[in-house]
């Protein structure tokens, strides 16, 4: 019996030893120390207390973090006032208070105070003739850069036709009437030399005529008698009589052609309507002014400024 017990004890010890070796082998692979194989109570060796397994990839405190929810730290109450470090941004005063203004339109210059109706068109120079019976007030007007008009010169010693003013569209020749309306001024002539005008100027000689022959193709034009085309033998008092210009002194010392009934010319409506120097009284239909006034006007008139005359 004693031998049998000893043999059994040896076998038991061998078994315990083998079990311990097997537990060490498993612990090397899994990181555990063989806690699953406790020694039998009858063994003389007392095994070490089992070690709590710890995952290799996480620190010990993470195991307890998942077990109980973490209580967030108490937050400070939000202050009611905006911190000084981040003041509220305000838009510039002009952005909210200023309203967009509509584009301003340049003020139009005041309407010219012409004494008679004027069809200005593209004219920048205007001569006005304000009639009163066979007398008239004549003024020169210049358009300024801003569009306004300035009266330059004026004379009240002007004369017109003895028959007064009539509408240009209904006027007839040899009635001693002056045609009302607005007309261009494009050429000048005179017995005297050119006073310095920019208008085309003809100093007339012995053979310069103004054709008033209703049968002529040159009706209401200046022409030399040597050129022919009209009957220069007829007296001026005749219905078809033309004017020999040099014989009208002092009236034609200076003259500006008023473009009445010129393009196209209507026969028997009238020809030879001029702005010329004063004579002895009323005219046969022209406008006459003092010589000095007309000479100054000639120096002022410029075809580039599209001059016009308005009679009313």
pLDDT digit string (tens) for 227-246?
Answer: 999 999 999 999 999 999 99
Distance, CA of 119 to CA of 5 (rounded, Å): 153
Q: How confident is the model at residue 5 (pLDDT cuts 50, 70, 90)?
A: low
What backbone phi and psi angles, to 5 degrees, belong to 185? Answer: -120, 110
Per-residue pLDDT averaged across 108-118, rounded?
Answer: 83
| Range name among 74-88, 133-147, 171-185, 228-242 with the lowest pLDDT average | 74-88
Domain count, the chain: 1
pLDDT at 109: 61
Per-residue pLDDT averaged across 251-270, rounded?
Answer: 98
pLDDT at 298: 99
| Range name among 102-116, 171-185, 255-269 with the lowest pLDDT average | 102-116
Residue 183 lies in a domain: yes
Instruction: Give the residue numbers spanning the domain of 222.
Output: 125-311
| pLDDT at residue 30 is higher than 70 | no
The answer to whether the CB of 222 falls within 8 A of the CB of 209 is yes
pLDDT at 53: 42
Per-residue pLDDT averaged across 98-121, rounded?
Answer: 79
Positive or negative, the CA dihedral 242, 245, 248, 251 is positive
The distance in angstroms from the start CA to the end CA of the chain is 169
Residue 21 lies in a domain: no
Residue 287 lies in a domain: yes
pLDDT at 9: 64
What backbone phi and psi angles, to 5 degrees, belong to 169? Answer: -70, -20
Residue 22 lies in a domain: no
pLDDT at 99: 75
| pLDDT at residue 19 is higher than 60 | no
Residue 222 lies in a domain: yes
Residue 178 lies in a domain: yes
Classify residue 129 as exposed, middle or buried by CB count within 10 Å of its CB (0-12, 13-18, 19+): buried
Distance, CA of 8 to CA of 142 (rounded, Å): 148
| pLDDT at residue 79 is higher than 70 | no
Residue 204 lies in a domain: yes
Residue 48 lies in a domain: no
Distance, CA of 79 to CA of 84 (rounded, Å): 11
Per-residue pLDDT averaged across 138-163, rounded?
Answer: 98
Averaged pLDDT of the chain: 81
- As a three-state string, the secondary structure of the chain is CHHHHHHHHHHHHHHHHHHHHHHHHHHHHHCCCCCCCCCCCCCCCCCCCCCCCCCCCCCHHHHHHCCCCCCCCCCCCCCCCCCCCCCCCCCCHHHHHCCCCCCCCCCCCCCCCCCCCCCCCCCCEEEEEEEECCEEEEEEEEECCCCCEEEEEEEEEEECECCCEEEHHHCCCCCCCEEEEEEEEEEEEECCCCCCCCCCEEECCCCEEECCCCCCCCCCCEEEHHHCCCCCCCCCCCCCCCEEHHHCCCHHHCEEEECCCCCCCCCCCCCCCEEEECCCCCECCCEEECHHHHHHHHHHCCHHHCCEEEEC
Distance, CA of 205 to CA of 246 (rounded, Å): 6
Per residue in 242-254, pLDDT tens? Answer: 999 999 999 999 9
pLDDT at 112: 79
């Amino acid at each position: 019996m004693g031998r049998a017990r000893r043999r059994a004890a040896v076998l038991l010890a061998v078994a315990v030893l083998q079990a311990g070796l097997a537990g060490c082998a498993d612990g090397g692979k899994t990181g555990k120390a063989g806690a699953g194989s406790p020694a039998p109570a009858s063994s003389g060796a007392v095994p070490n207390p089992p070690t709590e397994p710890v995952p290799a990839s996480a620190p010990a405190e993470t195991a307890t973090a998942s077990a109980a929810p973490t209580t967030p730290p108490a937050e400070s109450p939000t202050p009611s006032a905006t911190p000084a470090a981040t003041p509220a941004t305000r838009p510039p005063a002009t952005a909210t208070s200023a309203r967009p203004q509509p584009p301003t339109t340049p003020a139009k210059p005041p309407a010219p105070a012409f004494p008679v109706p004027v069809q200005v068109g593209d004219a920048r120079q205007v001569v006005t003739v304000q009639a009163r019976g066979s007398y008239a007030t004549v003024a020169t007007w210049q358009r300024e850069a801003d569009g306004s008009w300035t009266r330059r010169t004026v004379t009240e010693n002007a004369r017109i036709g003895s028959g007064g003013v009539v509408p240009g569209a209904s006027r007839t020749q040899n009635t001693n009437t002056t045609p009302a309306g607005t007309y261009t001024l494009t050429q000048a002539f005179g017995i005297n030399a050119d006073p310095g005008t920019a208008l085309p100027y003809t100093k007339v000689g012995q053979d310069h005529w103004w054709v008033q022959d209703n049968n002529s193709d040159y009706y209401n034009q200046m022409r030399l008698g040597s050129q022919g085309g009209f009957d220069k033998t007829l007296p001026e008092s005749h219905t078809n009589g033309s004017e020999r210009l040099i014989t009208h002194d002092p009236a034609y010392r200076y003259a500006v052609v008023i473009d009445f009934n010129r393009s196209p010319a209507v026969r028997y409506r009238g020809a030879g309507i001029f702005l010329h120097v004063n004579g002895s009284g009323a005219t046969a239909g022209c406008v006459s002014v003092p010589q000095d006034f007309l000479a100054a006007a000639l120096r002022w008139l410029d075809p580039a400024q599209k001059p016009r005359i308005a009679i009313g």
